[in-house]
Amino acid sequence: MYKYDIVIIGAGISGCVFAERFASIGKTVLVLEKRDHIGGNCYDYKNNNGITIHKYGPHIFHTNNEDVWKYVNKFTTFNGYGHKVLSKIGGEYYEFPINRNTINKFYNKDFRNDEEVLEFLEKIRDKKITDPKNSEESVLMKIGEDLYEKFFKNYTIKQWDLSPKDLDKAVMERIPIRANTDDRYFADKFQGIPADGYTKLFKKMLSGKNITVKLNTDYFEIKNQLECGLLVYTGPLDKFFDYEFGKLKYRSLDIVFEEYEKKEFQPVAVVNYPNEEKYTRITEYKKFLNEFSDRTVVSKEYPQWKGEPYYPVLDDENKKINEKYQEEIGKLRNIIFAGRLANYKYYNMDQAFENALNIFNKLFFKI
């Protein structure tokens, strides 16, 4: 029998935050992780050439939340990397998200200021849409059909195996449309990647003397051996309830790594391929930490349904199933559900940190 004040299922962002916070106030904490490593999908490692590889695809930290930024900086130093993405369309590279440079190149224009771009977008956007009901409408309302078709439609179909018409508008609304020349993917005040990698960040978070971590351990196989005052669950929501109301859909990725005997593979760390190719993007990892090597490693991402759950599928069917599980959560006591899988929400990294910190801070005053 395992006896702890707090038992946490999952050693990703949410699990690590709760472990660190509860240990900091003297609680004994057990973290159970079914994989052989901590850090969840943010896990990284150095390969034989000294290149830091993100095993589950690229993760770039960005936030406007000063409290979150101060918190993560207690455990690491960030390198100030500003993420830039290109979309390759018809053999040409275009800055993405769409900005003034993208529009000038795509339409062979020479707009010099924000006002000219906004006037142009007003002409080409779908004015019939005033209250978008889905992802397709949310994009058409902003930029019209041509840009939607080339940059968004096919990429979304590959990524989700769904038409943008069938996806919640929130999926596309995460991507900005800019009238200026800002070519950064994120506009947040604070950005970067841990200089020593994400895994060391999480290792430091879990280094407290009150924290015990058990890897390769499935909670559902040993749950009858656990005794605790509070359970924190960060795994798949539907699995916790033994799929009582059906399975929630999560999109996964087959990430194929390739190594090349060259110093550079592509102009920026990430290039999107929205149209003909079966993969959605190529990532070149040495660019994140400006690592030097005569070789380089890239990964190609092939979206699929099988495999580790990455992205909650926010369509009508899954939202209804999720609502039923949320009702069940309301009946439970002494259990916290947190994180992308347990909350069935698409959290960015900073949002996952923020969510866990907010939940803890509310509990703290009750402890």
Query: Which pLDDT band, with edges at 50, 70 and 90, does 307 fall under?
Result: very high
Q: Could you report the per-residue pLDDT of 16-69, keeping only the tens digit for each?
A: 999 999 999 999 999 999 999 999 999 999 999 999 999 999 999 999 999 999
pLDDT at 135: 96
pLDDT at 169: 92
95, HSE (Cβ side, Cα atoms, 13 Å)? 21
What architecture is the 2-81+192-247+313-364 domain classified under in CATH? 3-Layer(aba) Sandwich (3.40)
The whole model's pTM is what? 0.94
Every domain range in the chain assigned CATH 3.40.50.720 = 2-81+192-247+313-364
Residues 300, 280: Cα–Cα separation, whole Å: 7
How do 29-32 and 211-214 pair as beta strands?
Answer: parallel
Flag whether pLDDT at 93 surpasses 60: yes
Q: Is the peptide bond before 303 cis (omega within 30 degrees of 0)?
A: no
Measured between alpha carbons, how far is residue 3 from residues 98, 191, 208, 213, 230 in Å? 53, 39, 17, 14, 11
Query: Which pLDDT band, with edges at 50, 70 and 90, does 314 fall under?
Result: confident
Flag whether pLDDT at 315 surpasses 90: no
Average pLDDT over residues 188-203: 98
